């Protein structure tokens, strides 16, 4: 089997622990131990120049809240970006384009992806205009920060990287593998719980009938 190149995910954030905690567990943790991917957090405050490590300031033109400054992101990206063939810088924003499974598949081919996590009222627009290659939203709602969106995207992208999931089969029947098609209903033991029964066909051992039932039950958009 051809040896896969390692994928690097870097997250620039003022809350690196959020990234480290999630990414060290379960499938992502194991994939890192197997050296297939590496997920690294970088504290944005390490790229400030004043003694208070200021990352935010008031918006020009007035308005509520604080905005994250452009310079720390610029310096952080310069430091973190590796000299690899395919790199991508992704900014998280509720106003970005909606992240989909198609994006996850496409981005799984990149050597390094750097995620920029906002907080407060968001990030100075010059980051979007001059630093980010793409701006993604994970849904039509506003979260308090870009860490969960970055982790959401890293998780979805990593599953597409060969070797991260135990078996190729687990990807095959999954929701969204084929655009607009959701997974069929699945059941496990016991056969009856309270009065809730597993459909007879799944207990029949008749593979062709099971396949037909599953096809019928797949939820198509």
Ligand X SMILES: C[S@@+](CC[C@H](N)C(=O)[O-])C[C@H]1O[C@@H](n2cnc3c(N)ncnc32)[C@H](O)[C@@H]1O
Residues that bind ligand X (CB under 6 A): 92-95, 117-119, 121-123, 137-139, 141-146, 149
Per the CB < 8 A criterion, the answer to whether 133 and 89 are in contact is: yes
- Return d(Cα 132, Cα 90) in angstroms, integer: 6
Whichever of 23 and 92 has its CB closer to ligand X, that residue is: 92
Please give the span between the terminal C-alpha atoms of the chain, in angstroms, as a whole number: 36
Q: Which residues pair with residue 57 across a beta bridge?
A: 67
Question: Which residues lie closer than 8 Å to 60 by C-beta, 6 or more apart?
Answer: none
The first and second tokens of residue 150, run together, are: 């970055």
Please report how close the Cβ of residue 161 comes to ligand X at its closest, in angstroms: 22
Cα 127 to the center of its chain, rounded Å: 20
- Return d(Cα 138, Cα 179) in angstroms, integer: 17
Q: Which residues pair with residue 9 across a beta bridge?
A: 39, 113
Per the CB < 8 A criterion, the answer to whether 110 and 87 are in contact is: yes
Please report how close the Cβ of residue 56 comes to ligand X at its closest, in angstroms: 11
Whichever of 95 and 188 has its CB closer to ligand X, that residue is: 95
Whichever of 48 and 218 has its CB closer to ligand X, that residue is: 48
Please report how close the Cβ of residue 154 comes to ligand X at its closest, in angstroms: 13
Whichever of 12 and 39 has its CB closer to ligand X, that residue is: 12
Please report how close the Cβ of residue 91 comes to ligand X at its closest, in angstroms: 7
Please report how close the Cβ of residue 71 comes to ligand X at its closest, in angstroms: 16
In the complex, which residue's CB is closest to ligand X?
118
Whichever of 73 and 110 has its CB closer to ligand X, that residue is: 73
Whichever of 8 and 73 has its CB closer to ligand X, that residue is: 73
- Phi first, then psi: give them for residue 16, nearest 5 degrees: -60, -30
Please report how close the Cβ of residue 15 comes to ligand X at its closest, in angstroms: 11
């Amino acid at each position: 089997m051809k040896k896969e190149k390692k994928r690097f995910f870097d997250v620039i954030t003022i809350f690196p622990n959020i990234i480290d905690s999630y990414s060290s567990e379960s499938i992502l943790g194991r994939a890192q131990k197997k050296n297939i991917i590496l997920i690294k957090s970088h504290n944005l405050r390490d790229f400030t120049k004043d003694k208070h490590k200021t990352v935010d300031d008031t918006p020009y033109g007035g308005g509520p809240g604080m905005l994250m400054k452009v310079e720390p992101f610029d310096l952080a990206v310069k430091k973190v970006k590796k000299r690899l063939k395919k790199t991508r810088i992704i900014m998280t924003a509720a106003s970005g384009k909606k992240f989909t499974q198609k994006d996850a598949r496409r981005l799984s081919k990149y050597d390094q992806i750097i995620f920029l996590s906002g907080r407060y009222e968001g990030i100075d627009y010059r980051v979007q205009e001059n630093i980010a290659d793409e701006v993604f939203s994970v849904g039509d709602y506003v979260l308090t920060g870009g860490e969960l969106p970055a982790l959401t995207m890293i998780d979805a992208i990593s599953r597409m990287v060969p070797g991260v999931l135990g078996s190729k089969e687990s990807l095959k029947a999954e929701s969204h593998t084929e655009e607009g098609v959701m997974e069929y209903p699945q059941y496990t033991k016991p056969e009856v719980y309270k009065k809730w029964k597993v459909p007879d066909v799944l207990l029949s051992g008749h593979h062709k009938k099971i396949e037909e039932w599953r096809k019928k039950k797949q939820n198509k958009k």
